[in-house]
Amino acid sequence: MSEIKAAITAVHGYVPDHVLSNADLEKMVDTNDEWIKSRTGVSERRILKEGASSDLGVEAVKGLCEKRGIDPSEIDMLICATATPDMLFPATANIIMDKIGAVNAFGYDVMAACSGFLYATVTASKYIESGSHKKIVVVGADKMSSIVDYTDRTTCILFGDGAGAILLEPTEDGDGVIDSVLRSDGSGRDHLYQKAGGSLYPATHETIDNKEHFIYQSGQAVFKFAVTKMADVAEEVMKRNNLTGDDIAWLVPHQANRRILEAAANRIDLDIDKVMININKFGNTTNGTIPLCLWEWESKLKKGDNLIMATFGGGFTWGSIYLKWAYDN
Ligand code: UT7
């Protein structure tokens, strides 16, 4: 009997309408379009004016169910990867399930900064492989604008709001999630974090005055690790599956900085036109980046295509997935 694998059987994304362009940011902080584009690759990002991460997630999951032709009550599990939960608890996954009527599902949040979507996809695929669950939604949803300091030019240029979702179902025809490499190193916590609001530094007047509820990033340190580590894991998962750049249809990287994506593609010998890149339009949407890429590229994907997903984020956390795409659009 062939092995059960977790196949992506549908994908959908959602970004809010409001566009925050580089020209807009020029009016808010000391920056310029040329610097932002050349250092990051971002031209504009989307901002959710009203609502929370769950609202972004709801739109992505609703679209996913419509596309696949299923009722939300058929979902048996939903994992939400987010760095910007609606509240510390209950889980944003629970809120999304309630809003869409996923009455037969259980779920929880995965918090692994920008690697959350990838970690959650691997977790969900294990439930599918075990045979315990048949329809699992993984949604990456982040309202990054809720934790970005729009007076800090080093971070506000990077991030945007958005969500993407995938449906995982069992398959025995050889497609689906084939292999993964996941890593983390907590000593990287000093370089990228949101300091206050947790049990270490609960909210006080002082934490607010000191802007400690916003993202802090030591850009150069994170950049250095991201370039090396993201490429390391992509290379590792390819090597142990005897894959070369020629075998790969698409690299689906976390959209942190265009220069990081280019370096990763270069390391695994892949033409840049085989790399999904939408950082120019959406910026870094944290857990939304990878599923938003899949959503945008869905019409180009063919059954059996080899995809490598790769990510790096706060924690530090990083990882890579090798999967075979399971359907023609
Ligand atoms: O997704 C999670 C993981 N995150 C990442 O992977 C992000 C990794 N880091 C980065 O993408 C980059 O480090 C940044 C985009 C954050 C910064 O780019 P950089 O090339 O590393 O710039 P830098 O920090 O070395 O700064 C170079 C110069 C500095 O000026 P001086 O000291 O050379 O005079 C900065 O003050 O650019 C200045 N600068 C800016 N100038 C115009 C910093 N931000 C800006 C800005 N506009 N927005």
Q: Does ligand 1 lie within 6 Å of residue 313's CB atom?
A: yes
Query: What's the mean pLDDT in 23-40?
Result: 98
Domain ranges of the chain: 5-173, 178-324
Selecting among 22, 257, 278, 284, the annotated active-site residue is 284
Residue type, 250: W
Average pLDDT along the chain: 97
Res 11: pLDDT: 98
22 has pLDDT over 90:
yes
Note the pLDDT tens digit of each residue in 300-318.
999 999 999 999 999 999 9
Res 329: pLDDT: 82
Torsion of CA 51, 54, 56, 61, to 10 degrees: -150
154 has pLDDT over 60:
yes
- Residue % of the chain over a pLDDT of 90: 98
Query: What's the mean pLDDT in 141-165?
Result: 98
Res 245: pLDDT: 94
Torsion of CA 70, 79, 322, 176, to 10 degrees: -30
Note the pLDDT tens digit of each residue in 231-278.
999 999 999 999 999 999 999 999 999 999 999 999 888 999 999 999
Query: What's the mean pLDDT in 79-99?
Result: 98
Is 65 part of the annotated catalytic residue set?
Answer: no
Could you tell me the distance, in angstroms and rounded to a whole number, from the CA of residue 171 to the centre of ligand 1? 44
Is 191 part of the annotated catalytic residue set?
Answer: no
Q: Does ligand 1 lie within 6 Å of residue 256's CB atom?
A: yes
Could you tell me the distance, in angstroms and rounded to a whole number, from the CA of residue 227 to the centre of ligand 1? 14
Selecting among 65, 80, 114, 293, the annotated active-site residue is 114
Residue 222 Cα: closest atom of ligand 1: 8
Select from 3.20.20.100, 3.40.50.1370, 1.10.3470.10, 3.40.47.10 the CATH code of 5-173.
3.40.47.10
End-to-end CA distance of the chain: 28
At residue 23, the 3 state secondary structure works out as helix
Q: Does ligand 1 lie within 6 Å of residue 292's CB atom?
A: no
108 has pLDDT over 80:
yes
User: Do 5-173 and 178-324 show the same overall fold?
Assistant: yes
Query: What's the mean pLDDT in 55-74?
Result: 98
Helices (H), the chain: 22-26, 33-40, 53-68, 92-100, 116-130, 205-209, 219-239, 258-267, 279-282, 289-297
The class (CATH top level) of 178-324 is alpha beta
Selecting among 191, 254, 257, 278, the annotated active-site residue is 254
In the numeric block, the tokens 């958005």 are attached to: 162
Could you tell me the distance, in angstroms and rounded to a whole number, from the CA of residue 54 to the centre of ligand 1? 30
Note the pLDDT tens digit of each residue in 194-232.
999 999 999 999 999 999 999 999 999 999 999 999 999
Residue 284 Cα: closest atom of ligand 1: 1
Residue 254 Cα: closest atom of ligand 1: 1
1 has pLDDT over 70:
no
Mutate to test the pocket of ligand 1, among 154, 189, 190, 311 (most ligand atoms within 8 A of CB): 154
Nearest CA residue ID for atom 29, ligand 1? 154
Is 284 part of the annotated catalytic residue set?
Answer: yes
Q: Does ligand 1 lie within 6 Å of residue 285's CB atom?
A: no
